[in-house]
Structure 1
């Protein structure tokens, strides 16, 4: 991470929220020291985003605090970046280039690196022609961060996007094979979703067995818990202790407001860990202002509801930061968005047993099954395997071994294949 200085800028239409909280957190996550802030409420200026008079104020502020970069919370077009860079004299970024900068710094696995590169290319592609024209205007290639552009640049980008999509497709097929194998082995998949900085990584560390990491090739088992955005970019998966169930808990990149569709699409294969889970825990920071909690819940619902078929349980985290009365008010204020939440403190460990119980209740029903196995080494091996992958209720040893257990469909099918006799199945929890 760099340790440079930045001035933050945000333009809003009249009556909109001019808060810089999120872009401030993003800039700090990228390693910038914030040395100045500018906001303006007005209609967009096509040449500069902010008004021309405000550009002069911004230039004076940058010179006074000796900032190395200006970061806009707005999305900027290439002509606006060029014009602002010429007027102010330092590099100018917008929120999306800043997010991509953070992603690039934190992409550890091959899949994460490919997804970041895809997002960068999809961001640059519609700007390629404009940047080529702008770069040709100036004798200095890459002036104000525009980069070097020639006539082949756009076609090269398109070719690279195609190759990345092919490789990500292969990785997705591998991941799906991994999920199928986990399910055949009796594991159920629970995914943590939610806004970035809601405490998902801390919750994972509190719920998961830190000594029992998954063997997935793209999984980062560090699961750092820091008060920063995007501490988890790839997928972190660990074993979760749920009585009577074999559960893998996964944490992925958090949501953030106003992400464009192209950026969400670039991380589609990582988000499959959420979309294809057996249960989703939607983690929300209960200490956020109520209106912010509502906005974040709506953002998460919009992202999840179209793709997720599994049950979604809302988890209101960071309860330790509020007193009981205030917490009760917040639960009531978001009840129409989260009708039956579980309120926890991942840091203090409060109500985690309740959350584990809720996970067990919400996971898909297991079937009750009875099989008879030969009294042999193979039969005893099957009994041992059932203890590892199912909930064994009773075992009777005689001329044959009679086993009563509960398990998911894949395990029942395997057990039937190992049993030479008739079996009996009933639905049960």
Structure 2
């Protein structure tokens, strides 16, 4: 058939000892058209890894929002269709009263949400907070994809933890030999080695693994870039070269042939970063699929719960589930030092839902007299607050000197 993809169907009968399939001093990695995502046993809650509120309360808030969505959409449509004025003071009141009536009519929502019209006419909307709770997720399996052959394989864990699987996947970056990987599996702990070996068999059977006599990615990047270069990897993802090491910001990368026709950079095609920096909680900046392919002993710098008002994103829980072991929460004004400078955490403003004021970071790279600001999606809040109006930029210039380059994704 013209244009048909030739499919390779795996034969597991010849994999009694997977490690004898390769030369022990060759390097093993994932092809750039291979991608893997974890799967949970149950459907995720409404706000996975959302912290500061009990998951049951978050579920009630989400349900109330879902039930009100049609009325809200109609109100918005009326404004755009000129069926109602934009500044109608009664519209908000009607929606608030409808929300209160909805909550009061359902005991399970009423148990978590307090709302209604006060005697003075203002609207009360409250729900209990719990700074120690977050909507974590437990993964019991994964799904592997070979975008080149258009094949998918499900894989269920039989005792192994998601973090152990994640750590091993991070080793498949083309910088470890077969012998090193076998040792890592043997030392992965009780209940993990069997599942990891089965996963490796699946990856080999579905033609997801590359084998090379040498590891050359880092040498290529060192030869092709200069000190203090910034490489835009797409969307908000940046790779910064700092002398002989690299920093990676907000990696959201696309495996080959999966979601775009033109091949792009994927995790296995990048040099091993010395640190990964995540700015905020949106999934185009914190992408589990990309993070799953990266080495797990790398420090990951994330916004700190010290900067929360009420709610926060539980980065440590997510990253532990993916297998990362070094998560650093960097509060505004704190720094991640390196030889010749530092990366400073800078307040992040705006970006929906900005009224919640979740802890979020921009980052200033202060590197031997040259300053680069990773500003990403930060911008004015609904109240007009920004890095300019709040004096953040002035303070950075006073402390570190002029900012030569600013990278923004909006």
Higher strand fraction: Structure 1 or Structure 2? 2
TM-score, normalized by length of structure 2?
A: 0.29
Higher helix fraction: Structure 1 or Structure 2? 1
Higher Rg of the two aligned structures: 1
Structure with bigger RCO (C-alpha 8 Å, 6+ apart)? 2
TM-score, normalized by length of structure 1?
A: 0.28
